[in-house]
Amino acid sequence: MTGIAFAMLLTAALAGYMLNRRAALALRDGGQRLHSLGMFHGLYAALAVLVPAVIVTLLWVALQTPVINALVMAGLPAGSLDGADAGARQLVQAEIQSIAGGRVFGTPEAWKLEAAERLNALHATSGWLLLLAVAAVIAGALLVTRRSVAAQFRARQAVERIIMGLLIACSVVAIFVTVGIVLSLVFESIRFFQMVPITEFLFGTSWEPQIPIRADQIAAEGAFGWIPVLLGTLVITFVAIFIAVPVGLMSAIYLNEFASPRFRAIAKPVLEILAGIPTVVYGFFAILTVAPAIRAWGAALGIPVAPNTALAAGGVMAIMLIPFISSFADDALSAVPRSLRDGSMALGATRSETVLKVLFPAAIPGIVGGVLLAISRAIGETMIVVMAAGLIAKMTINPLDSVTTVTVQIVTLLIGDTAFDSPKTLAAFALGLMLFIVTLMINIVALRVVRKYRELYD
């Protein structure tokens, strides 16, 4: 039905364009002076059809499923959902949906079959109503625009106003995305904090999200203190930054000061390859090559090494961050005005003295900005740690031990779990909120530092 609706409104837009253009040209041929070209009269009609009709269709498609589901669930015979919590309701809803889709497992109760039938009927009705609504919008728009064709009608201005509105709408989408992120995280986190006190989450030192599903089940009590998770994140981030910053800085200095143009032309793109490799590949590399190598070294040296060390995850993350830091440092060094460099050289300083004592101090703000962005990346990096770091939260700062991170916990808590009401699932959103806040603060500071520094020398 949605496909038919879109086909309908595209043809209508085309028809509106042709009709209005022809009408305008007929006026011109009749000897009147048109204010706008015939094309703009046509475009005005096409846009006037497209914009409202597309909005109606998209809203309809987005809202029909939740509305229909709510109607079906509300229409279930009284008593069939008694005593069911939200999870059980979701199960019933999923079952009804799969029956409606023709996938019947076993022999469901009669009221479920009935509900499935009603679901299908509602979907069919909704499809027809959508077509009707779109047709009404199209007809209205065509009528109104057709009547607007006149020699004095400022069609170009009207078209440009609509287009300007569309452009503004496009740029506001980015704000909506941010608002959406904040709202969804905050909303789910508030539900989490209703079950687990916020102080326990922020200051608790034990993270054991395994909660008993049934009352008689033997499982951990469930503890949601994020301190050990945060500590694990910081350990891995520290390892990554500790390796990536010196290597990245040194390579930037070499590329900027010592390398021949030919070497630079080859080395820089090759370094960029490291930044373009998907993180899931790095994760696989970590479990396949780096972690066994670290275990072998540990065994050779007689040091106890956990199977999923923070060192392996952090080390591989460092490889990913090297080109990131290197290109930021390179930009910062290049942005130092030539006069500083020339002045230093003219005083007889060697290249290394120029770099270390003149360029580097001048470039520090840019480099710090880059390192901050790298830290925020390391904190938010997911796939490498999901594959290479551990699952159990420990209060340790030993990089040879197995630690877990915020992102690992988010992914493991949410994979394959759809119930939206257990503290286990909601905890992921609370962690996500913390992650968002922390990285946002780092990013804002970093972007401000970088920007301010650029303005200094421009």
Rounded to a whole number of angstroms, the minimum distance from the CB of residue 417 to other proteins is: 10
Rounded to a whole number of angstroms, the minimum distance from the CB of residue 30 to other proteins is: 26
The closest alpha carbon to 209, from 387, 412, 432, belongs to 412
Distance CA(385)–CA(381), nearest Å, equals: 7
- The answer to whether 418 and 351 have CB atoms below 8 angstroms apart is no
Of 3 and 79, which has the nearer Cβ to other proteins? 3
Of 131 and 419, which has the nearer Cβ to other proteins? 419
Of 19 and 424, which has the nearer Cβ to other proteins? 424
Rounded to a whole number of angstroms, the minimum distance from the CB of residue 256 to other proteins is: 9
Of 142 and 249, which has the nearer Cβ to other proteins? 249
How far apart, in Å, are the Cα atoms of 45 and each of 10, 41, 68, 170? 12, 7, 34, 21
- The answer to whether 393 and 232 have CB atoms below 8 angstroms apart is yes
Spatial CB neighbours of 173, under 8 Å, sequence gap ≥ 6: none
**Gyration radius of the chain over CA positions:** 31
Of 135 and 419, which has the nearer Cβ to other proteins? 419
Of 181 and 195, which has the nearer Cβ to other proteins? 181
Rounded (10°) CA dihedral 273, 276, 281, 285:
40
- The answer to whether 422 and 338 have CB atoms below 8 angstroms apart is no
Rounded to a whole number of angstroms, the minimum distance from the CB of residue 367 to other proteins is: 15
Rounded to a whole number of angstroms, the minimum distance from the CB of residue 100 to other proteins is: 13
Helix (H) or strand (E) holding 207: strand 207-208
Of 203 and 420, which has the nearer Cβ to other proteins? 420
Distance CA(30)–CA(457), nearest Å, equals: 63
For the chain, first and last CA: distance in Å? 56
Rounded to a whole number of angstroms, the minimum distance from the CB of residue 279 to other proteins is: 7
Rounded to a whole number of angstroms, the minimum distance from the CB of residue 271 to other proteins is: 6
Distance CA(374)–CA(192), nearest Å, equals: 30
Rounded to a whole number of angstroms, the minimum distance from the CB of residue 139 to other proteins is: 27
Distance CA(120)–CA(138), nearest Å, equals: 27
Rounded to a whole number of angstroms, the minimum distance from the CB of residue 251 to other proteins is: 4
Q: Tell me the angle at which helices 360-380 and 423-457 cross, rounded to the nearest 10 degrees.
A: 160
How far apart, in Å, are the Cα atoms of 118 and each of 70, 75, 179, 361? 12, 9, 36, 72
Spatial CB neighbours of 187, under 8 Å, sequence gap ≥ 6: none
Distance CA(184)–CA(23), nearest Å, equals: 50
Of 25 and 274, which has the nearer Cβ to other proteins? 274
Of 150 and 414, which has the nearer Cβ to other proteins? 414
Rounded to a whole number of angstroms, the minimum distance from the CB of residue 382 to other proteins is: 4
Rounded to a whole number of angstroms, the minimum distance from the CB of residue 216 to other proteins is: 30
Of 135 and 445, which has the nearer Cβ to other proteins? 445
Of 131 and 411, which has the nearer Cβ to other proteins? 411
CA angle 282, 283, 287 (to 5 degrees): 115
CB atoms within 10 A of CB 116: 21
Distance CA(122)–CA(236), nearest Å, equals: 52
Spatial CB neighbours of 36, under 8 Å, sequence gap ≥ 6: 24, 153, 154, 155, 156, 157
- The answer to whether 434 and 229 have CB atoms below 8 angstroms apart is no
Of 1 and 319, which has the nearer Cβ to other proteins? 319
- The answer to whether 314 and 399 have CB atoms below 8 angstroms apart is yes
Rounded to a whole number of angstroms, the minimum distance from the CB of residue 294 to other proteins is: 14
Distance CA(401)–CA(394), nearest Å, equals: 9
